[in-house]
Amino acid sequence: IETMQATIDKRPEVVQCFVDGSAKGWYNYLYGDNAAANAAIKKDNPDISDEQIAFSIEQMKKFGIVDSGDTEKLGI
């Protein structure tokens, strides 16, 4: 996640809400019910299969794309 320093300085609560929402979204996608998200992915990418999505999720978990480093101690 990137933003301008001016945005952080002027609207820190908005930035924090975005960061918190992103973390919650990723956690729910990887470990919760991701059916709605997968349907949206398939709508925008009709050639992708359920198997490809499942493989992608498996690889993100396997290689710590979302949850690794500090997130292992502090959460996503």
Q: What is the pTM of this model?
A: 0.74
Q: Which of 63, 76, 73 is nearest to 25 (CA)?
A: 76
Residue-wise pLDDT for 9-51, tens only, equals: 999 999 999 999 998 899 899 999 999 999 999 999 999 999 9
Report pLDDT for 70. 74
> According to DSSP H, which parts of 2-49 are helical?
5-10, 12-31, 35-44
- Residues in contact with 24: Cβ distance below 8 Å, sequence separation at least 6, in sequence order: 76
Give the pLDDT mean for 55-73.
84
Question: What band does 63 get if pLDDT is binned at 50, 70 and 90?
Answer: confident
Cβ pair 1, 18 in contact under 8 A: yes
